[in-house]
């Protein structure tokens, strides 16, 4: 579980603080059956390939489950969450 903050201070016991470096990400929202999550990822990978991007496996990928979708996600059958996959820098973007 993560919580975004402006400054890392007053970290509760049992938790750690860390900074996610700035990076380009491909983003999608999965809103559907839990057994279809893999298709959302496949569409993201397809988009990356079509546009000349590769995933940066050395950077942090994230699934963000928002409080506003807590009721939808409670059963586990239908899920609504955001997916962020880090991108490698393309050679012509340096």
Using the Cα atoms of residue 26, residue 33, residue 36 and residue 1 in order, give the sign of their dihedral: positive
User: pTM for this structure?
Assistant: 0.80
Asked if pLDDT for residue 79 goes beyond 70, the answer is: yes
**Who contacts 18 (Cβ-Cβ below 8 Å, separation ≥6)?**
8
In degrees and rounded to multiples of 5, residue 40 shows phi and psi of: -65, -45
Residue 2, pLDDT > 70, answer: no
Segment 8-54, tens digit of pLDDT: 888 888 888 888 888 999 999 999 999 999 999 999 999 999 999 99
DSSP alpha helix (H) spans, the chain: 37-50, 70-73
At residue 61, does pLDDT exceed 80?
yes
Which is more confidently placed, 90 or 59? 59
User: How many Cα atoms occupy the beta-carbon half-sphere of 90 within 13 Å?
Assistant: 9
Enumerate long-range contacts of 91-94, CB under 8 Å, 24 or more apart: none
């Amino acid at each position: 579980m993560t919580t975004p903050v402006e400054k890392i201070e007053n970290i509760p016991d049992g938790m750690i603080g860390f900074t996610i470096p700035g990076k380009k990400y491909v983003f999608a929202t999965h809103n559907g059956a839990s057994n279809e999550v893999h298709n959302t990822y496949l569409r993201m990978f397809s988009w990356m390939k079509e546009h000349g991007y590769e995933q940066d496996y050395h950077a942090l990928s994230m699934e963000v489950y928002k409080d506003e979708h807590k009721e939808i996600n409670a059963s586990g059958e239908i899920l609504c969450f955001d997916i962020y996959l880090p991108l490698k820098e393309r050679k012509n973007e340096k």
